[in-house]
Amino acid sequence: MTRILRLLLADDQALVRGALATMLSLEPDIEVVAEVGRGDEIVPAALETRPDVALLDVEMPGQDGITAAAELRDRMPGIRVLMVTTFGRPGYLRRAMRAGVAGFVVKDTPAKRLAAMVRDVADGLRVIDPALAAESLAAGDSPLTERESDVLRAAESGGTIADIAGELHLSEGTVRNYLSSAIGKTDARTRAEAVRIALENGWL
């Protein structure tokens, strides 16, 4: 008897999510058991539906897919995660691997190939888009420390030094030091530019 793979889909674009669900449901051994449009809905949906594989978009409201993947790993280690993204940023791949993700592919992957990847991931294999893997190796690791990344992430909303200090429970002087260091490491002129460069490289 064919094993039916239970699949959770997460993408904030309803059309994309619907298309993926329709295409993958056509496969005789794949059943889509949950569809969500926000990152913070992923873990509750997984706890409720117990999927074998979670197909997650990287950029979503509420919580990004990589953070949700790490939470899934901690709370439901049996679920295998396959990240799907429009943005093939090398830093994303490295962050995803650290979060325990089993696969990473770009959204224009053909439906049959995507279905095969879902099966491979469910079977315990790791599947990575080859072009993205090569790009990630060429780009190298993020130059930012964990704290510098935290400060840039907090700076993304455009708050003041005091706002960032309050959010991260740091002194304003410490925040200024981390920002200054991050600006230098990203070759940026301003903190806004440092945030943009870090985001474009997938370091945040």
Kindly report whether the global pTM for this prediction surpasses the value 0.95.
no
Q: Phi and psi dihedrals of 164, rounded to 5?
A: -65, -45
Q: Are residues 183 and 129 part of one domain?
A: no
Residue 1's pLDDT is 67
Band of pLDDT at residue 45, cut at 50, 70 and 90? very high
Q: Are residues 122 and 41 part of one domain?
A: yes
Residue 99's pLDDT is 87
Q: Please give the average per-residue pLDDT across 148-162, as a whole number.
A: 91
Question: How far is the C-alpha of 33 from the C-alpha of 29, rounded, in Å?
Answer: 13
Q: Are residues 103 and 170 part of one domain?
A: no
- Residue that is last in its domain, among 114, 138, 162: 138
Start-to-end CA span in the chain (Å): 44
Q: Are residues 180 and 116 part of one domain?
A: no
> How is 13-42 classified by DSSP, letter by letter?
-HHHHHHHHHHHHTSTTEEEEEEESSGGGH
Least confident of 63-72, 73-82, 130-139, 164-173: 130-139
Tens-digit pLDDT profile for residues 22-41: 999 999 999 999 999 999 99
Percent of the chain with pLDDT over 90: 63
Q: Are residues 159 and 92 part of one domain?
A: no
Q: Are residues 82 and 170 part of one domain?
A: no
pLDDT at residue 147 tops 70: yes
Number of folded domains that form the chain = 2
- Taking the CA atoms of residue 36, residue 40, residue 43 and residue 45 in that order, the dihedral angle to the nearest 10 degrees is -30
Print the domain residue range for 159. Answer: 146-200
CATH number for position 130: 3.40.50.2300
Compute the Cα dihedral for 82, 85, 87, 88 and give only its sign. positive
Q: Are residues 134 and 150 part of one domain?
A: no
- Residue that is last in its domain, among 100, 116, 138: 138
Q: What is the CA radius of gyration of the chain?
A: 18
CATH number for position 186: 1.10.10.10
pLDDT at residue 159 tops 90: no
Percent of the chain with pLDDT over 70: 94
78: exposed, middle or buried (Cβ count in 10 Å: 0-12, 13-18, 19+) = exposed
